[in-house]
Amino acid sequence: MAQIAIVTAALLIIEGLFGYLGAAEESRSMTALIPAIFGVLIGISGLIALKPSLRMHAMHGAVTFGLLGALAAWGRTIPNAIKLTQGAEINQRAALMVLLMAVICTVFVVLCVRSFIAARRRQRSQAVEAKSE
């Protein structure tokens, strides 16, 4: 899972830099770097998780940052979608970047939760096997 955290971090950092540097200079906003900030936090956690003794805590930290990123991004995406259905004009480039962050973070959280569940099942089955020996 540490590798998935690092890949997720790279995607978010690339997205943030693309969102900021890819915008016209007069319309650049520091908020375009928000995905990169979450990417750095997830990436640091992923790097820490490479050490086996710190893996569990680091990955819980990474998934927490991923969940916060997903909630923040979906919290911006849903109102934008509502505005679009009402015919209001929105910054479509910014809305797309927020949606992309929401999807990346959500996929990361789902992968982490699945991994946590699988790890718990492995622990339980090992405990049962140890008792039966």
- Per-residue pLDDT of 101-116, as tens digits, reads 999 999 999 999 999 9
Please give the structure tokens belonging to residue 61.
């930290």
Q: What local confidence, expressed as pLDDT, does residue 26 receive?
A: 85
Domain coordinates in residue numbering, the chain: 2-132
- Tokens describing residue 14: 């690339």
Evaluate whether 78 touches 102 at the Cβ level (below 8 Å): no
Mean of pLDDT over the chain: 93
pTM: 0.89
The rounded distance, in Å, linking the Cα atoms of 46 and 6 is 5
- Residue 2 neighbours by CB under 8 Å, 6+ apart: 46, 47, 49, 50, 55, 58, 59
Separation CA 98–CA 19 (nearest Å): 10
Low-confidence residues in the chain, pLDDT < 70 = 133
28: left (phi over 0), alpha (psi -120 to 50) or beta: beta
